[in-house]
Amino acid sequence: MESGAPLKSSTLADSVFDRLRTAIVKGELPPGSKVNEPQLSKQYGISRGPLREAIRRLEGCKLVEIKPNAGAKVISLNREQAIEIYEIRESLEGLACRLAAAKASADDCLALRELLAKHEQQIESADGRLYYQKEGDLDFHYLIIQLSGNTRLFNLLCGELYHLLRLYRVQTSSEPSRPVQAFKEHHQIVDAIENQDAELAELLMKRHIAHARHALMTRLDTDPVSGKYQDSAITRIKVAGGEV
């Protein structure tokens, strides 16, 4: 009977950890902003104890920085740090793709093909708006990482780096970019996986992510709204939605 509501974490610290992490990656808690314990405890209707535990867990995930006697602040990613993350992601997703190519079964390849077909429909149907990149791209990468069979790699990429990238995307107010080209590259990657060509699959995935990185960087150069985001006025705005 009570299995119908598994969403609510049984402990308050876990629950507020999820809510805080979501608030951070969605930008409701802007990068660089202070994490005010009394305010958040009132906002979430809990005591400061579980809240502090959740913040400490966020610190372990590197989503906030805590200075003694000064409180926690949401991390703020600058351009250099985004490059660092993309370098790591390029290397690790290349690894994941190589592993996936080496051990992918026929059913796995079929699932990849179906995913690509679904994305193609979405590209054709959504005229111009291109819902594709935001969810579809992640689905594709997630599936390949899952196929790699390396659980820790999956947690690292999809659990930690993913949140950091989401945080950066919300900073740069990114829109989908180069979806058609990305779609072609996805097909190439699946071809390599189907042929069990592990080396080629790794190379193509690394190049695919390098392309995405360059697209992001050139957009950062043309769109100067982000980049030197931290310590600017926009980081000091009050957190919205404080009434609930």
Placement of tokens 């705005």 in the chain: 237
47: contact with DNA by CB under 7 A: yes
46: contact with DNA by CB under 7 A: yes
149: contact with DNA by CB under 7 A: no
Whole-Å CA distances, 22 to 18, 63, 116, 157, 179: 6, 11, 28, 17, 26
For 18-27, b where at least 16 C-beta lie within 10 A, e where not — what string? Answer: ebbbebbbeb
* Pair of tokens at residue 172: 């740069």
47: contact with a copy of itself by CB under 8 A: no
31: contact with a copy of itself by CB under 8 A: no
Contact 189, 204 (CB under 8 A): yes
35 binds, among a copy of itself, DNA, none (CB under 5 to 8 A by kind): DNA
199: contact with a copy of itself by CB under 8 A: no
Task: Write out the H or E segment, with its range, that includes residue 157.
Answer: none
Q: How far is the CB of 62 from DNA (least distance, A)?
A: 17
72: contact with DNA by CB under 7 A: yes
Interface with DNA (CB under 7 A), residue from 19, 27, 28, 34: 34
Interface with a copy of itself (CB under 8 A), residue from 6, 38, 45, 68: 68
Contact 230, 32 (CB under 8 A): yes
Backbone angles phi, psi at 213, to 5 degrees: -65, -45
Interface with DNA (CB under 7 A), residue from 69, 125, 151, 222: 69
Instruction: Give strand ranges (E) for the chain.
Output: 34-35, 64-67, 71-74
Q: How far is the CB of 100 from a copy of itself (least distance, A)?
A: 12
Interface with a copy of itself (CB under 8 A), residue from 2, 8, 107, 152: 152
Contact 124, 236 (CB under 8 A): no
Q: How far is the CB of 228 from DNA (least distance, A)?
A: 22
Cβ proximity to a copy of itself, 37 vs 120, nearer residue:
37
